[in-house]
Structure 1
């Protein structure tokens, strides 16, 4: 059971990281310039 929980935790971590990367990519694609993109990405960290 403990091994399965570790796998689930790792899967959740990986999924979260992938989703965050997708959010950042979407921000970069929709932003008019780099400074606005930076502001939006920083807002994700708050």
Structure 2
């Protein structure tokens, strides 16, 4: 009886935090790739790999 409220409260919290961290990571990497494509045309492919 005690596990149901804990699961109901912890799982969405972890899911939201995971999605938020993934979103921020994707945004940071997208900005990095964007700047590298604009300012470092020669080294972009080597650094992303």
How high is the TM-score relative to the length of structure 2? 0.66
Question: In structure 1, which of residues 23, 30, 34 is the aligned counterpart of residue 39 of structure 2?
Answer: 30
Contact conserved, 2:36 with 2:44, CA < 8 A, in 1? yes
CA distance in 1 between counterparts of 2:23 and 2:14 reads 14
Q: Relative contact order (C-alpha < 8 Å, sep 6+): which is higher?
A: 1
Q: Equivalents in 2 of 1:23, 1:12: separation in Å?
A: 16
Cα RMSD (Å) of the superposition? 1.6
TM-score in terms of structure 1 length: 0.69
Does residue 40 (structure 1) correspond to residue 44 (structure 2)? The answer is yes
Q: Is there any run of 5+ residues in structure 2 with no aligned partner, and where? A: 1-9
Listed as ranges, the gaps of 5+ residues in structure 1 are none
CA distance in 1, matches of 2:22, 2:37: 23
State the aligned residue count: 40
The structure with more radius of gyration: 2
